[in-house]
C-alpha cells in the first residue's frame, strides 16, 4: 500500500490530531419564494470543531437554511463562506467536494448492504478512474481496499460495525438513519449538516445516535450544524444554539441562554415558568 492509499485508509488526518476545520459563516442570507420570505437576513457562525444547533418551530426556515448551505437553493442576497472560500451559488457537488456533507430528514438509502451504502460516500474521493476500476488494475484494487477499510472504521465509530454486511432493508428504522449519518461521514467532511438525525427514533435509538454524534465530533474534530426538535439532545450536545422563527433569527447563544430566553419560551419551548425540556 503506497503512502497516499494508506492515508485514505486512515482518514484525512492519519494518526495525527485532526486539524480544526474552518468556520462556516452564514451572513445576512435572504431567501424568498413567490414573495414569501423563507429566510430574512439570517446570520450565524459555526465555530471550528463545535456543535451548533439550529432550532425553531415547523416552517421557521431551518430546512431552507440547510438547502442554501448545501447548494440546493441560491439565496436572493447574503453569502455563505467556509473559512475564506465562497460557497454562495456553488453546485451541491462542488460544496461537497470542499468538505460540507449533509443528511436529510427522510431516509435516503440504496439497495444492498450497509457497506455498499457507505462506499457510495467514498465515490467523490476515488482517483483510480472508471476504466482502471472496471479492469481491476492494481492501483484501483488497492484504492478500493483502502476505501473499504476506512468505511469499516466509520461503521465502527457510528455503532454500525455489527451490521456492516447486513442488507439495509433488514435494519431497524434507527439503524437506517445512522447509515445515512455514516455515509455522510465517508465523504471525510470538515462540516457536517445533520437534518433531524433522531426524528422518529425510540429512546434507545436516540441515545445511541447522540453518543455517535459526540464520538464523531471528538474523534474527527469536525464541525456539526444540527437541526433537531429533540430539545434534550440539543441541550446536551450543542455548544451554541440559533433559534429561527418565521424565517428570522429570534435568539442566539449558549444552550442555557437560549433555554431562558423569554421569546424562545413563548415561541417554541413553552411558556415562562415551565421546564422546556
Q: Could you give the angle at the alpha carbon of 192 between the alpha carbons of 209 and 241, nearest 5°?
A: 80
**Helix, strand, coil: what percent of the chain each, to 5?**
40, 20, 35
CB hemisphere CA count around 237 (13 angstroms) = 33
Task: Name the average pLDDT for the chain.
Answer: 85
pLDDT at 49: 94
Which segments of the chain are extended strands (E)? 24-33, 36-46, 51-55, 77-82, 85-86, 100-102, 191-195, 223-227, 240-245, 248-253
111-125, 150-164, 235-249, 252-266, range with the lowest pLDDT: 111-125
Rounded mean pLDDT, 248-269: 87
Per-residue pLDDT of 184-218, as tens digits, reads 999 999 999 999 999 989 999 999 999 999 999 99
Three-class SS of residue 107? coil
Q: How many CB atoms lie within 10 A of CB 198?
A: 25
Mean pLDDT of 22-40: 96
* Residue of 188, 158, 184, 167 whose CA lies nearest to 116: 167
CA dihedral 45, 67, 219, 9 (to 10 degrees): -130
Compare 113 and 273 and report the one with higher pLDDT. Answer: 113
pLDDT of residue 107: 82
Lowest-pLDDT choice from 93-97, 98-102, 143-147, 206-210:
143-147
HEC sequence for 72-88: CCCCCEEEEEECCEECC
What's the confidence (pLDDT) of residue 105? 83
* Its pTM surpasses 0.85: no
The answer to whether residues 240 and 253 touch, using CB atoms and an 8 Å cutoff, is yes
188 CB contacts (<8 Å, ≥6 apart)?
A: 11, 12, 99, 125
For residue 20, the model assigns a pLDDT of: 80
Options 3.30.950.10, 3.20.80.10, 3.40.50.300, 3.10.290.10; CATH of 3-9+24-269? 3.40.50.300
Q: Are 248 and 42 in contact (CB under 8 A)?
A: yes
Please report, for the chain, the start and end positions of each structural domain, with discontinuous segments joined by +: 3-9+24-269
What pLDDT shows up at residue 106? 80
Residue 135 has pLDDT above 70, yes or no: no
Q: What is the gyration radius of the CA atoms in the chain, in angstroms?
A: 19
- Is 43 within 8 Å of 75 (Cβ atoms)? no
Q: List Cα–Cα distances, 265 to 57, 59, 238, 261, in angstroms.
A: 11, 17, 18, 6
Amino acid at each position: 500500500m503506497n503512502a497516499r492509499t494508506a492515508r485514505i485508509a486512515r482518514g484525512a488526518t492519519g494518526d495525527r490530531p485532526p486539524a480544526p476545520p474552518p468556520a462556516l459563516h452564514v451572513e445576512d442570507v435572504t431567501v424568498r419564494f413567490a414573495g414569501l420570505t423563507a429566510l430574512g437576513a439570517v446570520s450565524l457562525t459555526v465555530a471550528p470543531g463545535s456543535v451548533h444547533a439550529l432550532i425553531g418551530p415547523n416552517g421557521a426556515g431551518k430546512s431552507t437554511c440547510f438547502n442554501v448551505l448545501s447548494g440546493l437553493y441560491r439565496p436572493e442576497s447574503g453569502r455563505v463562506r467556509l473559512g475564506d472560500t465562497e460557497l454562495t451559488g456553488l453546485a451541491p457537488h462542488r460544496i461537497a467536494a470542499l468538505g460540507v456533507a449533509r443528511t436529510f430528514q427522510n431516509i435516503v438509502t440504496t439497495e444492498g448492504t450497509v457497506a455498499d451504502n457507505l462506499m457510495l460516500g467514498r465515490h467523490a474521493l476515488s482517483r483510480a478512474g472508471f476504466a482502471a476500476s472496471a479492469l481491476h488494475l492494481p492501483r484501483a484494487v488497492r484504492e478500493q481496499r483502502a476505501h473499504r477499510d476506512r468505511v469499516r472504521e466509520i461503521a465502527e465509530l457510528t455503532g454500525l460495525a455489527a451490521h456492516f454486511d447486513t442488507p439495509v432493508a433488514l435494519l431497524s428504522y434507527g439503524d437506517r438513519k445512522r447509515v445515512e449519518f455514516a455515509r455522510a461521514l465517508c465523504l471525510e467532511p470538515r462540516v457536517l449538516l445533520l437534518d433531524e438525525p433522531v426524528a422518529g427514533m425510540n429512546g434507545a435509538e436516540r441515545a445511541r445516535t447522540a453518543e455517535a454524534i459526540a464520538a464523531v465530533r471528538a474523534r474527527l474534530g469536525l464541525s456539526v450544524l444540527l437541526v433537531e426538535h429533540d430539545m434534550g439532545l440539543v441541550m446536551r450536545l450543542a455548544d451554541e444554539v440559533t433559534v429561527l422563527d418565521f424565517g428570522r433569527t429570534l435568539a442566539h447563544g449558549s444552550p442555557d441562554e437560549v433555554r431562558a430566553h423569554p421569546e424562545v419560551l413563548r415561541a417554541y419551548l413553552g411558556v415562562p415558568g415551565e421546564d422546556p425540556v
